[in-house]
Amino acid sequence: MSTSVTTITVTADTDQVTLVNVFTVDPTRQTELVDALDEATRKIFVTLPGFISANLHTSLDGTRVINYAQWASERQYKEALQRADVREHLTEATAVADKWDPTLVRVRSIHHAQSAEPQ
């Protein structure tokens, strides 16, 4: 599993889209699912046109895995879904999960914590 630190650039009102995919999984299989998603991202997605980044999140109760993946455009995301290697990965990952709910979204608003020190 990747352990690098990254900073994501999120931009509102652009062509960029974000896939938010919430997987429901048996807690005994959460690590298996994360490992499968991580491997496919490292081997496949990072090489695809339009792919920007992916972040995998695990729920503390072990029942969810959330994939937050940024793409340059909806078109490039949809083109990636047509690839045989991507479809194979999706088949493998969804076989581990009980359910999944992929949703393609666009950032509309961005907020940050206020600084404790006046500037």
Higher per-residue confidence, 90 vs 8: 90
Question: Domain range holding 70?
Answer: 17-105
The predicted-structure confidence for 78-88, as pLDDT tens digits, reads as follows 999 999 999 99
Specify if 11 maps to a domain: no
The predicted-structure confidence for 13-42, as pLDDT tens digits, reads as follows 778 999 999 999 999 999 999 999 999 999
Specify if 8 maps to a domain: no
- CATH number of the domain at 58, please: 3.30.70.100
CB atoms under 10 Å from CB of 34, counted, come to: 20
The count of domains in the chain is 1
